[in-house]
Homo-oligomer: A and B are copies of this chain.
Amino acid sequence: MTSRPGGRSARVREAVLHAVHTELVERGYPGLTVEQVAERAGVHKTTVYRRWGTVDVLIADALDHTRETEWPVPDTGTVEGDLIAIATEVADTFADPARHPLPVAIVVAALQSPRAREAKRAFYAARHTEAAKVVTRAIDRGELPPHTDPVELIRLTCAPLYYRVFVTGEPVDRTTAERAARAALTAARAGLL
């Protein structure tokens, strides 16, 4: 078995992680099993057990794989436009039946598995760092106080959407997203972040 990019090992990982996504969409986290992932990926189950071991490790690796992909940081010309774009992307993800299941499965898996917890922490740290570029650009343009914590403004923009999805079980939409972005921005402009 080789681990060079594009080799058999990479193709197996691609097929298995794609199967994880599909199984999550169709069955959700409680229904996910190593056997079904292997069968859907067309890979022998002992290969999956040997390389990943458990469902939580499969989910953690799917998240690592997502983190490795490019995420286009918005650049609308204003920090308000950029933050609304980021919040809207979050809201759209949760409204999309094909994209919703992975973040949900990750939250559940992370509460049960240290490997998934670390993958989740690394994923959000990486996404926050990327997204924070819109804030540092805004500080450079003089749109925000120079001492603003860029990551904290990203957290406050996204938090109300995740709160509805994971905690209160309330719906999110683009109106919720815009309000969250504007509220966070107002706090930043007031010098609170």
Contact surface of A with B, Cβ cutoff 8 Å? 28-30, 104, 107-108, 110-112, 117, 120-121, 124-125, 128, 152, 155-156, 158-160, 162-164, 166-170, 179-180, 182-184, 186-187, 190, 192-193
Measured between alpha carbons, how far is A21 from B78 in the docked complex, in Å? 48
Knowing A159-B162, A186-B187, A193-B183, the reply to whether A30 touches B168 (Cβ < 8 A) is no
Closest CB-CB distance, A35 to chain B, in whole Å? 19
Which of A164, A167, A170 has the most chain B CB atoms closer than 10 A to its own CB? Answer: A167
Complex contact B30–A112 (CB within 8 A): yes
Collect the chain B residues with CB atoms within 8 Å of residue A124's CB.
Answer: 167-169
Knowing A112-B29, A183-B193, the reply to whether A162 touches B155 (Cβ < 8 A) is no
In the complex, besides A124-B168, A124-B169, A155-B164, 10 extra interface pairs with C-beta distance below 8 angstroms are A28-B112, A120-B168, A120-B169, A128-B168, A159-B160, A159-B162, A159-B163, A184-B187, A186-B186, A186-B192
Knowing A104-B111, A108-B111, A183-B187, the reply to whether A163 touches B155 (Cβ < 8 A) is yes
Closest CB-CB distance, A148 to chain B, in whole Å? 12
Collect the chain B residues with CB atoms within 8 Å of residue A160's CB.
Answer: 155-156, 159
Closest CB-CB distance, A186 to chain B, in whole Å? 5
Q: Determine the residue in chain B with the shortest Cβ distance to A166.
A: B166
Collect the chain B residues with CB atoms within 8 Å of residue A162's CB.
Answer: 159, 162-163, 166-167
Knowing A183-B156, A193-B183, the reply to whether A107 touches B163 (Cβ < 8 A) is no
Complex contact B166–A107 (CB within 8 A): yes
Collect the chain B residues with CB atoms within 8 Å of residue A163's CB.
Answer: 155, 158-159, 162-163
Collect the chain B residues with CB atoms within 8 Å of residue A158's CB.
Answer: 163, 167
Collect the chain B residues with CB atoms within 8 Å of residue A28's CB.
Answer: 112
